[in-house]
A and B are shown apart, each in its own frame.
Chain A
């Protein structure tokens, strides 16, 4: 079956530090990969996506590259801000309906 594994949190960084949140996956077929962000008290928001191998998704300074050879989709940002503090979820979709498979989430805390 499909599964997503994320690095455990919380991850605590100082403002302007470099961020990496690791994500690996197991899937049948050729999944699309996503990063969602959840701010306190809010629903999930799509951060970025990639639909095929070697695609790079990017948004708001965040990037992730779909690596089929390592089945990974690591999230990176060159300089984090306090406003980036949230929980980040890696997810995959293999088609058919709206069934996303999520990882357990990684909480990011950015301090001044």
Chain B
């Protein structure tokens, strides 16, 4: 049973560019959350998607946006990249019927470097 799959694993962008990161949730899960983990820091909650809508959002600017597709997969988009956006972006999935932090499954992340 595949867990959470994220792509790409690594990517390099330059300031001002835009990036799209992708996440396939664990089989049977319907909710996707995104976290940003800067080097040496703990993950910070970006937002959560369920039924193709953003349900909850952390303290991130509008440059960060997302999408959830009918098959529950999700994308994270970041526009006008800044050097400070360099981080590991983690996707976590869960089943809303059993929601709660103890049932989150995390992917290995996408490492974004902004030059």
Residues of A within 8 A of B (CB): 4, 32, 34, 41-46, 49, 51, 89, 91, 93, 95-105
Contact = CB atoms under 8 A, between A and B. Distances in A.
Interface residues of B, number: 26
Contacts of A4: 42
A102 B33 CA distance: 14
11 contacts: A32-B100, A32-B101, A34-B101, A43-B90, A43-B109, A44-B106, A89-B42, A98-B56, A100-B104, A101-B45, A102-B43
A98 B31 contact: yes
A49 B104 CA distance: 12
A58 B100 CA distance: 19
Given A97-B99, A98-B31, A43 B42 contact: no
Contacts, number: 69
B41 interface: yes
B100 A42 contact: no
A46 B3 CA distance: 14
Contacts of A34: 101-102
A97 B55 contact: yes
A100 B101 contact: yes
B4 interface: yes
Interface in B27-85: 31, 33, 35, 40-45, 48, 55-56, 58
A45 B55 contact: no
B102 to A, nearest CB: 5
Given A93-B101, A104-B42, A105-B41, A98 B33 contact: yes
A98 B44 contact: no
Given A43-B108, A44-B43, 15 more contacts: A34-B102, A42-B108, A43-B4, A43-B106, A43-B109, A49-B102, A91-B42, A93-B101, A97-B48, A98-B33, A98-B48, A98-B92, A98-B94, A102-B43, A105-B42
Contacts of B44: 102
A17 to B, nearest CB: 24
